Amino acid sequence: MGKLILSGKPFIAGSAKGIALVSREPLSFWGGYDWKTGEIIDRRHPLSGQIAKGRILAIPFTRGSSTTTAVLLESIRAGTAPSGIITTATDFFFALASVVADEMYSKPIPLVAVSDSDFALLKTGDEVEIDNDRLVVVPT
Amino acid sequence: MTLALNDHDRAMLRGDHGPAAKIAMTIIVRMAEVSGAEELLDITGAHIDSTVYIGDAGLEFAERLASLGAKVAVPTSLNVSGLDEHHWQEWAVPPEWARQAQRQMEAYRSMGTTPTWTCAPYQTEASRPKFRQQIAWGESNAIVFANSVIGARTERYPDLFDICCAITARAPAIGLHLTENRAGEVLLQMKDIPLALQQSDDFYPVLGHFVGKIARDRIPVIHGLAVSPAEDQLKALGAASASSGGVALFHVVGVTPEAPTLEAAFQNKSPHETIDVTMELLRNARAELTHTDSDELDMVVLGSPHFSLAEFKRLAPLIAGKQKHPNVKFLVTSSRAMTQLAKQAGYLDSLQSFGAQLTVDTCILTTPMLPPEIKRLMTNSAKFAYYTPGLLGRKIAFGSLKDCVESAVEGKIIRDDSLWAS
pLDDT of residue B390: 85
pLDDT of residue B271: 98
Closest C-alpha among A125, A132, A126 to residue A108: A132
Closest C-alpha among A70, A69, A27, A15 to residue A52: A27
Q: Give the three-state DSSP class for B187.
A: strand
pLDDT of residue A44: 85
pLDDT of residue B366: 93
Q: Tell me which chain A residue has its CA closest to the CA of residue B209.
A: A64
Residue B39: give its domain's CATH number. Answer: 3.30.499
Residues of B in contact with A35 (CB under 8 A): 54-55
Q: Is B404 on the interface with A (CB under 8 A)?
A: no
Closest C-alpha among B79, B215, B95, B222 to residue B146: B79
Residue B196 to residue B199: CA distance in whole angstroms: 5
Mean pLDDT to the nearest integer, B360-368: 95
Look at residue B403 and tell me if it is in a domain.
yes
Closest C-alpha among B101, B80, B75, B97 to residue B334: B80
B74 and B167 assigned to the same domain:
yes
Name the minimum distance, in Å, from the CA of A4 to any CA of chain B: 26
Q: Is B381 on the interface with A (CB under 8 A)?
A: no
Q: Give the three-state DSSP class for A92.
A: helix
B164 and B57 assigned to the same domain:
yes
Given B112, B143, B178, which residue is the final one in a domain? B178
Q: Give the three-state DSSP class for B45.
A: coil
Q: Domain total for chain B?
A: 3
B157 and B31 assigned to the same domain:
yes
Q: What is the pLDDT of residues B133-164, one digit of tens each?
A: 999 999 999 999 999 999 999 999 999 999 99
Which candidate from B34, B58, B155 shows the least CB-CB separation from A73?
Answer: B58
Residue type, B418: S
Q: Is B143 on the interface with A (CB under 8 A)?
A: yes
Provide the pLDDT confidence category of residue B333 given band limits of 50, 70 and 90: very high
CB contact under 8 A, B54 and A104: no
Q: Which of A61-70, B118-127, B157-166, B327-336 comes out lowest in average pLDDT?
A: A61-70
Q: Domain total for chain A?
A: 1
Residues of A in contact with B36 (CB under 8 A): 90
B354 and B231 assigned to the same domain:
no
Between positions 308 and 367 of B, the ones with CB within 8 A of A are 365
The complex scores an ipTM of: 0.94
Residues of A in contact with B140 (CB under 8 A): 64-66
Q: What is the pLDDT of residues B389-409, one digit of tens each?
A: 988 999 999 999 999 999 999
> How long a stretch of residues is chain B?
422
Given B288, B309, B342, which residue is the final one in a domain? B288
pLDDT of residue A1: 65
Chain A residues with a Cβ under 8 Å from any Cβ in chain B: 11-12, 26, 28, 30-32, 35, 41-44, 61-71, 73-74, 76-78, 90, 92-93, 95-97, 99-101, 103-104
B50 and B187 assigned to the same domain:
no
Mean pLDDT to the nearest integer, B326-350: 97
Q: For a pLDDT cut of 90, what percent of chain B falls above it?
A: 97
CB contact under 8 A, A74 and B55: yes
Q: Residue B26 pLDDT more than 70?
A: yes
Name the minimum distance, in Å, from the CA of A139 to any CA of chain B: 29
Residue B305 to residue B320: CA distance in whole angstroms: 23
Residue A30: give its domain's CATH number. Answer: 3.50.30.10
Q: Is B172 on the interface with A (CB under 8 A)?
A: no
How far apart, in Å, do the first and last CA atoms of chain B sit?
55
Residues of A in contact with B245 (CB under 8 A): 26, 63-64
The DSSP H or E segment spanning B379 is: strand B376-379
Instruction: Answer yes or no: A65 catalytic.
Output: yes
Residue B376: give its domain's CATH number. Answer: 3.30.499.10
The DSSP H or E segment spanning A77 is: helix A68-78
B257 and B365 assigned to the same domain:
no
Residues of A in contact with B23 (CB under 8 A): 103
Mean pLDDT to the nearest integer, B380-388: 96
Selecting among A23, A28, A65, A75, the annotated active-site residue is A65
Q: What is the pLDDT of residues B209-238, one digit of tens each?
A: 999 999 988 999 999 999 999 999 999 999
Please provide the average confidence, as pLDDT, over all residues in chain B. Answer: 97
B264 and B339 assigned to the same domain:
no
Task: State the pTM of this model.
Answer: 0.95
B303 and B253 assigned to the same domain:
no
pLDDT profile of chain A (140 residues), mean per 10: 91 96 94 96 93 97 83 98 96 95 96 97 97 95
B269 and B327 assigned to the same domain:
no
B328 and B408 assigned to the same domain:
yes
Cβ(B49)–Cβ(B4) below 8 Å: no
CB contact under 8 A, A66 and B64: no
Residues of A in contact with B243 (CB under 8 A): 28, 63-65
Residue A49 to residue A53: CA distance in whole angstroms: 12
Residue B250 to residue B248: CA distance in whole angstroms: 7
Look at residue B95 and tell me if it is in a domain.
yes
CA contacts within 13 A on the Cβ side of B114: 17
Per the structure, the complete domain to which residue B373 belongs is given by 299-416
Look at residue B325 and tell me if it is in a domain.
yes
Q: What is the pLDDT of residues B67-116, one digit of tens each?
A: 999 999 999 999 999 999 999 999 999 999 999 999 999 999 999 999 99
pLDDT of residue B42: 98
Look at residue B343 and tell me if it is in a domain.
yes
Tell me the count of A-B CB pairs closer than 8 A.
Answer: 129
Look at residue B1 and tell me if it is in a domain.
no
Look at residue B422 and tell me if it is in a domain.
no
B166 and B191 assigned to the same domain:
no
Given B149, B178, B207, which residue is the final one in a domain? B178
Per the structure, the complete domain to which residue A17 belongs is given by 4-138
pLDDT of residue B1: 63
B156 and B34 assigned to the same domain:
yes
